[in-house]
Amino acid sequence: MKLSNVRFDHGLLNNLLSSHILRIINKMKKIAFNIIDVVEYDYNNTDGTISNHRVAVDVANFTSLTGKPDGMTIDIDDNLWIALYGGGAVIHANPRTGELLQVVALPARDVTSAMWGGPNLDILFVTTSRVSLTDEEKKYYPAAGGVFAIRHLHTKGLPVFNAKIIDSI
């Protein structure tokens, strides 16, 4: 399946059963690239094909929020945690219904990504940026550029990658 007008994408991941792939795509519209969708595909993990493209979460429907999806992760309930760049928050959303479940506000405007960690994968680590902030905005958001550890979210993540650490190369 080939998608046209895709400028770049973020947050590529698969669900618990590896039956769906989710991604954040940034599409070009005329000259600007300002349409951002969280999309889902059916995924055949036998032959690697994808099909049935659909919008899983349309952040534009959440009119009380600002910012655009940047990075995301998934929890054990197959719900998404989506960083809102320019929105100062991570949102918790159900990709099957598109429903907004929760908003976690952060003391940084540009939220870039989220990943589960900790011994039980029950801490949501969230990264932020300060690169595009003015000097005045940096005073208003002194924690921008930091990594935040969010606990007590009543869910946890899935292990994403296994790695073998080699002592020497």
Per the annotation, where are the binding residues for a divalent metal cation? 70
Which residue among the candidates 37, 70, 75, 122 is catalytic per the annotation? 70
Binding residues: 70
Q: Kindly state the tokens that stand for 63.
A: 């009119």
Q: Where are the alpha helices (DSSP H) in the chain?
A: 135-140
CB contact at 8 A, 6 and 20 = no
Residues 6+ apart with CB under 8 A from 8: 25, 26
Residues 6+ apart with CB under 8 A from 60: none
6-11 long-range contacts, CB within 8 A, separation 24+: 7/33, 10/69, 10/70, 10/71, 10/72, 10/113, 11/38, 11/69, 11/70, 11/71, 11/72, 11/73, 11/82, 11/113
Query: Is residue 42 flagged as an active site residue?
Result: no
- Torsional sign, CA 147, 38, 43, 99: positive
Residues noted as catalytic: 70
